[in-house]
Amino acid sequence: MTTFKRTIFFNVLTGSISGMFAKSEEEISSSPNVPQSVRWYNKSVNPVFYEPSILISCPHNRNKKEIRKDMMIDDDCFVFVDSGGFQLATQVVTEKEYTREIALEWSEKHGDVFPILDMPVSSGNRTPQETLEFSVKSAKYYYENRQNPHCCILNVLSANRHSNMEHWYNSIKDFKFNGWAYGGHKNYAKAIIQSILFLESKGEFKRTETPILHMFGTTSFAVLPYILYAQYLLDKLNINCLLTFDSSSASALANYGKYILTCAPTGITNLKISNKDFMTKNLEGKTFGCDCPVCKGITDLDYLFSDQGKWQYYSLLAIHNYYKMNQFKRDIEHLFMLDCKETLHSFPTFMVKNFKAMDKAFKAMGKKGIHIIENEFNIDSKAKPIELSGSTNSLSAFLN
């Protein structure tokens, strides 16, 4: 019987939600609407739901000396440290204030898994060759200076298409780490699937320990089912690899007042709301309309929809969004783990055709498999992820 792995979804903390977790547990739990801890990553505090994984940004937290203690991250939680290449590329931090030395030392102290400090190939102010040269220097530095043998360090493959993978890989492959991370794909599903086939063809999954292949910034849930199906196919073929990915969508949507209603294979449906819409409403006897474990604890709507409770409103919105997204991931995973091909027909027809193309490609593997994906896996590279949104100030649409 095939043993199927569950992929790991690392939720990126941004905006309001990161501010909430900077508060003490006592401060959070003493406020209205939080009957249980919202620290989903710490089993000991009896959280509203438990998911032992979290992503922490190194450049944003590099001055914090005890991040696990400060955020109450328990020993069972798998911590992914974002090394900060994207922040360097977008000038959130500069190379003068944020270096490889800082990134490696902090990541080894606080993380379980982290990539080298790469420079994404999509960096607008650098040529592809310059981003590669920066990343190779980082790989060399990490390889020569790593100290913690218990950390999983990921080399980086960065390319927006399969045709660009070979040159990047050949330039950086000699620095042997514990796995790989893939970026530069811009949520292009075809390139993401080809990267898995490409690295397998190079023998990168033939290790005694289970190597990780992490997909940077897969914010589109229209791409997610293909990543989950790829894990299913790898397991069926007894290819030892764990696929992981990260997304900031839960927090980012909440920062814009977007509340996820449903997740579907083709995208996310959300509602745009604001706590200001309800400040003048009569909320007596009303409760939150969602029955997820986050929303069920919300009973004091007057506080939630007040200026004083604004921090809580957007934080709980983000945690609700993460719960809905992770629940969707688990539901799709479970569907594949049933190992029953008939269940695939619950997906849209175009996705079923792509799953069949993946079946053929993973059976063939190597260059032939990559060629199959190139020619039979059909998705518009220019199409944006489907996101159905609406705006309302109607109590009936949001509250019971």
Report domain extents, the chain.
Answer: 8-248
Q: Which residues of 40-63 are buried (b: 16+ CB within 10 A; e: fewer)?
A: bbbeebebbeebbbbbbbbbbbbe
C-alpha closest to that of 135 among 103, 96, 111, 178: 103
Give pLDDT, residue 219.
Answer: 64
Alpha carbons 357 and 305: distance in angstroms, whole number: 49
pLDDT in tens, 291-306: 899 988 888 888 888 8
Can you read off the two tokens belonging to residue 118?
Answer: 């790469």
Helical spans, DSSP H, in 237-348:
249-255, 301-304, 310-337
Alpha carbons 181 and 115: distance in angstroms, whole number: 7
Give pLDDT, residue 381.
Answer: 46
Using the 8-state DSSP alphabet, how is residue 2 labeled? -
Contacts of residue 115, defined as CB under 8 A and 6 or more positions apart, other chains included, come to 82, 83, 85, 153, 154, 155, 156, 181, 214
Instruction: Write out the H or E segment, with its range, that includes residue 197.
Output: helix 189-201
Alpha carbons 193 and 234: distance in angstroms, whole number: 12
Give pLDDT, residue 353.
Answer: 95
pTM of the model: 0.91
Highest mean pLDDT among 26-30, 72-76, 200-204: 200-204
Three-state secondary-structure class, residue 203: coil
pLDDT in tens, 339-389: 998 989 889 999 999 999 999 999 999 999 999 999 999 875 444 444 555
pLDDT higher than 90, residue 118: yes
Three-state secondary-structure class, residue 324: helix
User: What is the per-residue DSSP string for 55-85?
Assistant: EEEHHHHTT-S-HHHHHT--TTSEEEEE--H
pLDDT in tens, 240-283: 999 999 988 888 888 888 888 888 887 788 887 766 666 556 66
CATH topology of domain 8-248: TIM Barrel (3.20.20)
Give pLDDT, residue 382.
Answer: 44
SS (H, E, C) 78-141: EEEEECCHHHHHCCCCCCCCCCHHHHHHHHHHHCCEEECCCCCCCCCCCCHHHHHHHHHHHHHH
**Single-letter code of the amino acid located at 382:** K
Give pLDDT, residue 386.
Answer: 46
Average pLDDT rounded to a whole number, residues 162-174? 94
pLDDT higher than 80, residue 12: yes
Contacts of residue 87, defined as CB under 8 A and 6 or more positions apart, other chains included, come to 57, 59, 60, 93, 98
